[in-house]
């Protein structure tokens, strides 16, 4: 007897599983991600040889409309309840067909789908059927053709309907989005036109020279300011390169920057280069470059910063000068304090030792004098350049400057040929600034000959007619003809950044013009360079006003009665030196004070015929002490003498000059101290 064998579903399904599944799928529905097994309505089947009677009874018990027909576990077709009902309900149908196998009553053209078939293909195939076959379930099988379940056509129709609805909604949304995009595009185009107009306005009216360059420096577009900056009219059609305008020393760096920008390997960069502009000359140009990826061009913004850099350089020079003045002044003060007792005690010892030892003491005194002269020259160079024009011996200025350069001349192994006149050659100039000119010219010559052999430096001072000539000549490599006309320009230099700023010769030219003179250069490549400075000769009587050494005054005889003096200095050894000198020369009783505050207290206790005070001291300096004396002890102010290693800034020196107080510069000799103090003591006596 044949029996009905149901094939169980791989997973039991709840009531109305398709409806629950469809409700659980979120919108929008994605047909590609839905598994066909999730759409199975049931998985009941009958064997192919099952009699129609039993199959009809099973349909009634299962309450399904379709079941799969299987043979040996493999699906062979589809059986419909309506088909069996039609066969069994016909006249004599039960008698004729009840024992026939189900296989004979299968529905024609069943749709049997493997699980791997896409859902859209299943829907297209199932929903495209015509007639009564449209309502038949779809059979789902696995790779071995075993039944996985049946999918109702209603489920596929609902899915198709939902997909269509969602597609319509998506199209509606897309249409709305397209409308919004069109509106935004209109707004963007309007904004683009405004931006384009703004760009053109900014581009043409910008204060910087702007150019769009290629990787070789060719100018594709530029504004009018660039024409003014470069001093020439550039036609965009020429695609002229900006590179030839860059000075040769900076050209390789400029090209490297262009290449790095063109590859996009470097962020926007700002650097400065020297440009040689035919109509203008050498100019320092600041270039800001950035890569425009959209156009494949380099945007270069150029600005002429020559005057700005000159001003900054001048400010830096002033700051350095002020720092140098402070530093050298402090060093000079300390050195002069140390040299003063050496010189003073050496002079005092000359009366205590024999002739042989006196020669040693003279050597010490001479060395101290030379050291003091070097310190004086350093102070003269370190002070801010406020020209004080007076008659200056040009030959003596050269001698003093060369003393300062003895070390450099020795280190460079340079042979010096010096030609100076037998007598003085007077010019109106500032001594410190004239020394600076000589110093710069000699150092330039030494640097030009650096690294060569057989170096020869010739310096000559001569005075033909009414002019004084200073000639500085070297046998270095010389100056190229194409740059000799620019060596006096600010910031022009052939040296590296570490060795020069290009300001030395420019400053020299300015100083010489200030003295109503001229400076010129002659040179040939490989034949050295010759600098000639000409200055007007000062009249013969101008030399009478030239500053010189004070003549030694005749010794002044003082009264026999004892004099009382006050010595104020923060250096103990200097206090002792002055005390001993006043005691030996004038027989004074000397009180000592270490600073202005102690000196002020001593002035309150005693009346002094002589007050000697240092200027730079802790707690209360000499200037502050004198100001207090003007208030508290005005009658003793005319008995004050200042001693100093370095007075300080110009303000202090000016204040002391208005008071008319004598100033003795350290290191001083005992004789010099006596010359200044004797008139004060004589007046008190």
Residues linked to residue 285 through DSSP beta bridges, in sequence order: 273, 304
What angle is formed at CA 322 by the lines to CA 320 and CA 327, rounded to 5 degrees? 90
Residue 327 resides in a domain = no
Q: Grade residue 139 by pLDDT with cuts at 50, 70 and 90.
A: very high
Mean pLDDT throughout 228-233? 84
So what's the pLDDT on residue 494?
54
Q: Grade residue 654 by pLDDT with cuts at 50, 70 and 90.
A: confident
- Sheet arrangement for strand 66-71: 45-47, 66-71, 74-80
Window from 3-12, 374-383, 520-529 with minimum mean pLDDT: 3-12
> Does 670 score more than 70 pLDDT?
yes
Let me know whether 73 and 144 are in one domain.
yes
Window from 59-63, 71-75, 484-488, 627-631 with minimum mean pLDDT: 484-488
Q: What are φ and ψ of residue 274, in 5° steps?
A: -90, 125
Q: Could you give the count of Cα atoms lying within 13 Å of 573 in the half-sphere of its Cβ?
A: 12
Q: What tokens appear for 108 in the block?
A: 């024609």
So what's the pLDDT on residue 548?
44
- Measured CA to CA, the distance from residue 483 to residue 529 in angstroms comes to 13
Let me know whether 506 and 587 are in one domain.
no
411 contacts 447 by C-beta, under 8 angstroms: no
Counted domains in the chain: 4
- Alpha-helical (H) ranges within 352-503 are 355-382, 394-404, 406-411, 431-448
Let me know whether 73 and 220 are in one domain.
no
Q: How many CB atoms lie within 10 A of CB 484?
A: 16
Let me know whether 390 and 480 are in one domain.
yes
So what's the pLDDT on residue 685?
59
Residue 591 resides in a domain = yes
- Measured CA to CA, the distance from residue 656 to residue 642 in angstroms comes to 9
Residue 352 resides in a domain = no
> Does 19 score more than 70 pLDDT?
no
Residue 534 resides in a domain = yes
So what's the pLDDT on residue 12?
41
Q: Grade residue 591 by pLDDT with cuts at 50, 70 and 90.
A: very high
Residue 610 sits in a domain whose CATH number is 3.40.50.2300
Q: Grade residue 79 by pLDDT with cuts at 50, 70 and 90.
A: very high
Residues linked to residue 79 through DSSP beta bridges, in sequence order: 67
Let me know whether 531 and 598 are in one domain.
no
Q: What tokens appear for 494 in the block?
A: 């052939």
Q: Grade residue 26 by pLDDT with cuts at 50, 70 and 90.
A: low
pLDDT > 70: percent of the chain: 84
So what's the pLDDT on residue 74?
93
Let me know whether 409 and 540 are in one domain.
yes
| C-alpha distance from residue 137 to each of 8, 41, 126, 143, 639 (Å) | 17, 9, 9, 20, 134
- Measured CA to CA, the distance from residue 471 to residue 459 in angstroms comes to 6
So what's the pLDDT on residue 76?
92
Domain boundary, last residue among 304, 333, 364? 304
- Measured CA to CA, the distance from residue 284 to residue 36 in angstroms comes to 78
> Does 22 score more than 90 pLDDT?
no
**97-127, pLDDT tens digit by residue?**
888 898 888 888 899 999 999 988 998 988 8
Mean pLDDT throughout 488-506? 55
**540-585, pLDDT tens digit by residue?**
555 544 544 433 334 444 443 568 999 999 989 888 989 988 988 8
So what's the pLDDT on residue 444?
81
> Does 536 score more than 60 pLDDT?
yes
613 contacts 568 by C-beta, under 8 angstroms: yes
Residue 97 resides in a domain = yes
**pLDDT greater at residue 529 or residue 560:** 529
What is the residue-wise DSSP string for 402-415?
A: HHHTHHHHHHTT-E
What is the residue-wise DSSP string for 7-22?
A: PPPSS---SSHHHHHH
> Does 178 score more than 90 pLDDT?
yes
What is the residue-wise DSSP string for 293-331?
A: TTTTEEEEEEEE-HHHHHHHHHHHHHHHHHHHHHHHHHH
Q: How many CB atoms lie within 10 A of CB 362?
A: 13
Q: Which helix (H) or strand (E) holds 513?
A: helix 504-514
So what's the pLDDT on residue 499?
46
Q: How many CB atoms lie within 10 A of CB 478?
A: 18
- Sheet arrangement for strand 610-614: 589-593, 564-568, 610-614, 640-644, 663-665
| C-alpha distance from residue 180 to each of 175, 186, 187, 189 (Å) | 9, 10, 10, 14
Mean pLDDT throughout 247-273? 87
- Measured CA to CA, the distance from residue 399 to residue 420 in angstroms comes to 9
What is the residue-wise DSSP string for 137-166?
A: PEEEE-TTS-EEEEE-HHHHHHHHHHHHHH
Pairing of β 390-393 and β 415-419: unpaired
Measuring CA to CA, which residue among 491, 549, 545, 513 is closest to residue 672? 549
Let me know whether 594 and 533 are in one domain.
no
222 contacts 245 by C-beta, under 8 angstroms: no
Let me know whether 508 and 427 are in one domain.
yes
Q: What is the DSSP letter of 241?
A: B
Let me know whether 509 and 401 are in one domain.
yes
Mean pLDDT throughout 429-453? 82
3-state secondary structure of 475: coil
Residue 83 sits in a domain whose CATH number is 3.10.580.10
What angle is formed at CA 371 by the lines to CA 613 and CA 401, rounded to 5 degrees? 120
What rounded mean pLDDT belongs to the chain? 80
Domain boundary, last residue among 304, 338, 367? 304
Measuring CA to CA, which residue among 643, 630, 636 is closest to residue 673? 643
Residue 89 resides in a domain = yes
Residue 125, exposed/middle/buried by CB under 10 A (0-12, 13-18, 19+)? middle
282 contacts 275 by C-beta, under 8 angstroms: yes
Residue with tokens 């006050």: 566
Residue 411 sits in a domain whose CATH number is 3.30.565.10
Window from 84-93, 119-128, 288-297, 454-463 with minimum mean pLDDT: 84-93
Q: What is the DSSP letter of 544?
A: G
**pLDDT greater at residue 291 or residue 411:** 291
Residue 287 sits in a domain whose CATH number is 3.30.450.20
Q: Grade residue 510 by pLDDT with cuts at 50, 70 and 90.
A: confident
Residue 377 resides in a domain = no
> Does 85 score more than 60 pLDDT?
yes
Window from 78-92, 129-143, 177-191 with minimum mean pLDDT: 78-92
So what's the pLDDT on residue 4?
41
So what's the pLDDT on residue 560?
39
Mean pLDDT throughout 56-80? 90
Domain boundary, last residue among 270, 304, 338? 304
So what's the pLDDT on residue 98?
83
Let me know whether 589 and 530 are in one domain.
no
Measuring CA to CA, which residue among 410, 524, 520 is closest to residue 470? 520
- Measured CA to CA, the distance from residue 144 to residue 202 in angstroms comes to 76
- Measured CA to CA, the distance from residue 254 to residue 271 in angstroms comes to 9
**pLDDT greater at residue 463 or residue 139:** 139
Let me know whether 527 and 587 are in one domain.
no
Let me know whether 670 and 592 are in one domain.
yes
So what's the pLDDT on residue 220?
85
- Measured CA to CA, the distance from residue 139 to residue 125 in angstroms comes to 12
Residue 492 domain boundaries: 385-545
Residue 139 resides in a domain = yes
- Measured CA to CA, the distance from residue 604 to residue 629 in angstroms comes to 10
Q: What is the DSSP letter of 131?
A: G
Mean pLDDT throughout 423-436? 82
């Amino acid at each position: 007897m044949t029996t009905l064998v149901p094939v169980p579903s791989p997973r039991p399904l709840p009531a109305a599983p398709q409806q629950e599944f469809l409700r659980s799928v979120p919108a929008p529905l994605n047909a590609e991600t839905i598994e066909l097994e999730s759409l199975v309505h049931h998985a009941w089947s009958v064997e192919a040889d099952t009699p129609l009677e039993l199959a009809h009874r099973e349909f009634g018990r299962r309450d399904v409309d379709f079941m799969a027909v299987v043979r040996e576990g493999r699906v062979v077709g589809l059986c419909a309840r309506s088909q069996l009902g039609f066969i069994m309900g016909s006249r004599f149908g039960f008698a004729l067909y009840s024992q026939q196998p189900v296989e004979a009553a299968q529905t024609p053209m069943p749709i049997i789908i493997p699980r791997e078939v896409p859902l859209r293909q299943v829907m297209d195939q199932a929903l495209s059927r015509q007639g009564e076959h449209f309502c038949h379930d779809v059979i789902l099988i696995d790779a071995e053709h075993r039944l996985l379940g049946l999918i109702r056509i209603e489920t596929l129709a609902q899915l198709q309907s939902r997909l269509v609805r969602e597609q319509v909604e998506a199209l509606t949304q897309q249409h709305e989005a397209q409308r919004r995009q069109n509106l935004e595009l209109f707004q963007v185009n309007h904004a683009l036109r405004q931006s384009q107009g703004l760009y053109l306005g900014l581009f043409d009216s910008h204060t910087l020279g702007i150019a769009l360059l290629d990787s070789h420096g060719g100018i594709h577009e530029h504004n009018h300011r660039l024409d003014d900056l470069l001093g020439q009219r550039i036609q965009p059609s020429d695609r002229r390169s900006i590179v030839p305008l860059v000075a040769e020393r900076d050209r390789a760096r400029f090209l490297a920057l262009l290449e790095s920008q063109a590859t996009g390997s470097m962020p926007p960069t700002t650097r400065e280069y020297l440009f040689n502009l035919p109509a203008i000359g050498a100019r320092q140009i600041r270039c800001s470059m950035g890569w425009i990826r959209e156009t494949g061009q380099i945007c270069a913004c150029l600005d002429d910063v020559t005057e700005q850099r000159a001003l900054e350089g001048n400010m830096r020079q002033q700051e350095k000068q002020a720092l140098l003045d402070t530093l050298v002044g402090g060093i000079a003060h300390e050195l002069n304090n140390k040299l003063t007792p050496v010189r003073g005690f050496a002079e005092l010892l000359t009366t205590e030792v024999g002739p042989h030892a006196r020669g040693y003491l003279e050597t010490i005194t001479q060395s101290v004098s030379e050291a003091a002269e070097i310190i004086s020259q350093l102070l003269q160079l370190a002070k801010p350049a406020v020209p004080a024009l007076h008659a200056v011996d040009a030959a003596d200025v050269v001698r003093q400057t060369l003393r300062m350069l003895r070390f450099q001349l020795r280190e460079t192994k340079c042979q010096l040929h010096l030609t100076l006149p037998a007598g003085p050659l007077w010019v109106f100039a500032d001594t410190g600034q004239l020394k600076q000119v000589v110093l710069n010219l000699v150092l330039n010559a030494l640097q030009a000959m650096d690294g060569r052999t057989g170096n020869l430096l010739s310096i000559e001072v001569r005075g033909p007619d009414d002019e004084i000539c200073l000639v500085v000549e070297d046998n270095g490599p010389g100056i190229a003809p194409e740059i000799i006309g620019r060596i006096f320009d600010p910031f022009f230099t052939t040296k590296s950044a570490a060795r020069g700023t290009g300001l030395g010769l420019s400053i020299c030219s300015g100083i010489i013009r200030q003295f109503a003179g001229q400076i010129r250069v002659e040179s040939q490549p490989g034949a050295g360079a010759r600098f000639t400075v000409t200055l007007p000769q000062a009249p013969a009587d101008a030399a009478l006003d030239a500053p010189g050494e004070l003549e030694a005054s005749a010794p002044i005889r003082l009264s026999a009665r004892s004099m009382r003096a006050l010595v104020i200095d923060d250096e103990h050894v200097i206090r002792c030196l002055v005390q001993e000198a006043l005691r030996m020369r004038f027989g004074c009783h000397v009180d000592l004070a270490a600073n202005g505050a102690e000196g002020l207290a001593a002035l309150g206790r005693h009346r002094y015929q002589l007050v000697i005070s240092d200027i730079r001291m802790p707690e209360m300096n000499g200037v502050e002490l004198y100001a207090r004396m003007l208030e508290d002890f005005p009658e003793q102010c005319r008995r004050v003498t200042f001693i100093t290693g370095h007075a300080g800034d110009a303000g202090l020196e000016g204040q002391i000059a208005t008071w008319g107080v004598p100033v003795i510069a350290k290191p001083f000799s005992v004789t010099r101290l006596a010359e200044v103090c004797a008139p004060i003591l004589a007046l008190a006596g």
